[in-house]
Amino acid sequence: MSSPILTRLAWTGPVKAGANLEARWSAAHPMDSGFRVDDSGRQIPKNIIHTVRAYLNDRLIMEADLGTAMTSPVYLAFPVLVPPEGGIVKVIWKDDLGQMGETQQRLVL
């Protein structure tokens, strides 16, 4: 079993209805490109986060298909328009080995 990947989701600016926030998501994933070798000279298999989706109140607001050029730790920023009722922003990701993760944060008005 692989170890859990630590992730974080945060915003810039005050959370208030109608505000445009920048959501910042990061993940401590190794993002192995498949081009490196270990100390014994064996190739390290490719394992990158390839799909990231962000939802606001279960509605898709951002989708990204990542490649081998993405660094570790992974960092993505995307806009969020705060709805009058607030809600929950959820980020779901998947890597080449089938590992998935989820981070969510409540928009408290």
pLDDT tens digits along 8-30: 999 998 899 999 999 999 999 99
Q: What is the four-CA torsion angle of 63, 65, 69, 74, rounded to 10 degrees?
A: 40
**pLDDT digit string (tens) for 59-80?**
999 999 999 889 899 999 999 9
Which CATH topology does 7-101 take?
Immunoglobulin-like (2.60.40)
**pLDDT digit string (tens) for 49-61?**
999 999 999 999 9
pLDDT of 1 reads 45
Domain limits, the chain? 7-101
